[in-house]
């Protein structure tokens, strides 16, 4: 919250006249509070509390000075570029790294995994702005939409993901072609990846192209990307020749999954061409096929291209890292869409940056909840007791509507006492 307040104080303010009596910082904090509590009516409730008690949770918990209305928030945040909030994501990452929390997230020779994927967060056939992308007319009507790349840190064996600054898929000045996920991902690499150390980019087949891979390598990073035969005919023709010569390496492992035995078959080859041509980038390739031992039924099959050297000792960890890419969908985008954050809900569209800056604040709320559950012992115990997100947020909304809390500690102590849960021993 301190890092957020410091960054919000730097937001540019081009307003003039009477509109300047309220700070843009309060507008951003108000939007964050709505996302953090998952309560669309949070600010209205706090205005009522301000009138009856002389103070509100919007002030004591979120640090707001004034409580602007929804229309004021939308109007004031529309000119704010979402990039202005990027340093908050960076500050959270730096704090985690500095405290040693990310040491267990490093794999493949001490690399952190950054997963890239695009997601849609607005669509309409009526409302639109200059930053909307467009789909061809259906039934005579154009569909307008917004998308973003939502990078996250992932790790095999860890359910949590750590949200990083987004990159928005939006028409670019001076470009005739419509923006797309791959181009936006390249922009994210150019703008952000250099601040992280020892990075491997993981993603689906969309990113497994020579221009994208070359860009990643130029920034001193590695990649593990899904590699499909239909997208890489030259690579798979080369592999077919290696296989025919019986030179394709293989590792087989039998495992018990709790119900039946499975066979994990890894195959790999190094220094294969990613595409046709003398300038083709050489990559290393590996695949995993999981079959049911008794029936031989294929349960899973996926192949990856990487610059990590693949051998009998590394192939399993490389494939595990590549498979961790799915966490960006299962543990990030799907949760944001279906577990209360309402990622695809239109909180406000605007004509400049409103939709994007609201999405960014929503991602920050999600990031803060993730970290609290991870590093704050009181919050962690409350979430363990109220395992269902819906139950937790219903309780939070009710408490903040009727009771005034002077701090987050006081709120969590109240919840622990009400749930008859002992306070963590290390909580002062």
Q: What is the pLDDT of residues 225-235, one digit of tens each?
A: 999 999 999 99
Residue range(s) defining the domain that contains residue 368? 2-82+345-418
Domain check: are 288 and 143 in the same one? yes
pLDDT in tens, 110-123: 999 999 999 998 88
pLDDT band per the 50, 70, 90 thresholds, residue 305: very high
Average pLDDT rounded to a whole number, residues 60-68:
94
Residue 85 makes CB contacts below 8 A (sequence gap 6+) with 7, 28, 165, 357, 360, 361, 364
- Give the model's pLDDT for residue 378: 96
Let me know if residue 96 belongs to a domain.
no
pTM for the model = 0.92
With respect to residue 424, please indicate whether it lies within any of the assigned structural domains: no
325 occurs within a structural domain: yes
Residues 31 and 117 in one domain: no
Residue 179's pLDDT band (boundaries 50, 70, 90)?
Answer: confident
CATH number (domain holding residue 118): 3.90.350.10
What confidence score (pLDDT) does residue 428 get? Answer: 46
Looking at the structure, tell me whether residues 305 and 179 fall in a common domain: yes
Same domain, 330 and 356: no
Same domain? For 404 and 291 the reply is: no
Q: Number of structural domains, the chain?
A: 2
Give helix 389-402 / helix 24-37 axis angle, nearest 10°.
130
Confidence at 337, pLDDT banded by 50, 70, 90: confident
- Dihedral sign, Cα of residue 186, residue 190, residue 191, residue 196: positive
328 and 373 inside one domain: no
Bridge partners of 249, per DSSP, are 268
Closest Cα to residue 204, out of 168, 231, 178? 231
Burial label, 425 (beta-carbon count in 10 A; 0-12, 13-18, 19+): exposed
Q: Is the pLDDT of residue 341 over 80?
A: no
Q: Which of 329, 315, 302 is nearest to 229 (CA)?
A: 302
Query: 113 and 55 share a domain?
Result: no
Q: Are 298 and 291 in contact (CB under 8 A)?
A: yes
Residue 88, C-beta contacts closer than 8 angstroms, at least 6 positions apart? 3, 4, 7, 364
pLDDT at 238 over 90: yes
pLDDT at 27 over 70: yes
Per-residue pLDDT reduced to its tens digit, 243-297: 888 889 999 999 998 999 999 999 999 999 999 999 999 999 999 999 999 888 9
Cα angle 101, 104, 105; round to 5: 90
Question: Mean of the pLDDT values across residues 367-377?
Answer: 92
Asked whether residue 311 is assigned to any structural domain, the reply reads: yes
Domain end marker among 313, 336, 359: 336
């Amino acid at each position: 919250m301190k890092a957020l307040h410091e960054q919000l104080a730097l937001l540019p303010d081009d307003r003039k006249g009477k509109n300047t009596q309220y700070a843009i910082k309060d507008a951003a904090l108000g939007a964050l509070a709505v996302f953090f509590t998952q309560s669309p009516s949070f600010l209205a409730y706090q205005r009522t509390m301000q009138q009856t008690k002389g103070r509100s949770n919007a002030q004591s918990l979120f640090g707001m000075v004034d409580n602007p209305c929804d229309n004021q928030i939308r109007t004031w945040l529309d000119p704010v570029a979402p990039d202005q909030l990027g340093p908050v994501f960076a500050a959270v990452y730096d704090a985690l790294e500095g405290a040693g929390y990310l040491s267990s997230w490093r794999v493949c020779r001490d690399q952190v995994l950054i997963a890239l994927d695009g997601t849609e967060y607005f669509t309409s056939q009526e409302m639109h702005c200059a930053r909307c992308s467009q789909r061809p007319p259906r039934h005579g009507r154009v569909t307008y939409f917004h998308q973003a790349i939502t990078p996250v840190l992932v790790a095999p064996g860890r359910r949590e993901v750590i949200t990083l600054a987004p990159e928005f898929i939006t028409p670019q000045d001076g470009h005739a072609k419509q923006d797309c996920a791959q181009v936006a991902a390249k922009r994210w690499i150019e703008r952000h990846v250099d601040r992280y150390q020892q990075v491997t980019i993981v993603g689906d087949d969309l990113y497994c192209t020579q221009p994208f891979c070359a860009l990643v390598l130029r920034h001193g990073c590695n990649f593990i990307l899904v590699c499909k035969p239909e997208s890489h005919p030259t690579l798979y023709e080369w592999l077919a020749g290696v296989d025919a010569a019986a030179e394709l390496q293989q590792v087989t492992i039998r495992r018990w999954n709790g119900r039946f035995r499975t066979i994990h078959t890894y195959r790999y080859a190094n220094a294969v061409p990613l595409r046709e041509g003398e300038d083709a980038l050489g990559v290393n390739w590996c695949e995993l096929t999981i079959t049911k031992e008794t029936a031989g039924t294929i349960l899973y099959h996926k192949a990856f291209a990487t610059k990590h050297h693949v051998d009998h000792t590394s192939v399993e960890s490389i494939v595990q890292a590549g498979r961790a890419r799915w966490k960006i969908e299962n543990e990030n985008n799907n949760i944001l869409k279906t577990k209360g954050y309402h990622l695809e809900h239109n909180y406000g569209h605007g004509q400049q940056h409103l939709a994007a800056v609201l999405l960014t604040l929503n991602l920050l709320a999600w990031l803060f909840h993730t970290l609290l559950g991870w590093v704050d012992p009181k919050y962690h115990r409350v979430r363990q007791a109220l395992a269902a997100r819906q139950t937790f947020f219903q309780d939070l909304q009710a408490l903040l509507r009727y009771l005034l809390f002077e701090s987050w500690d006081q709120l969590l102590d109240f919840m622990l006492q009400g749930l008859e849960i002992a306070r963590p021993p290390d909580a002062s």
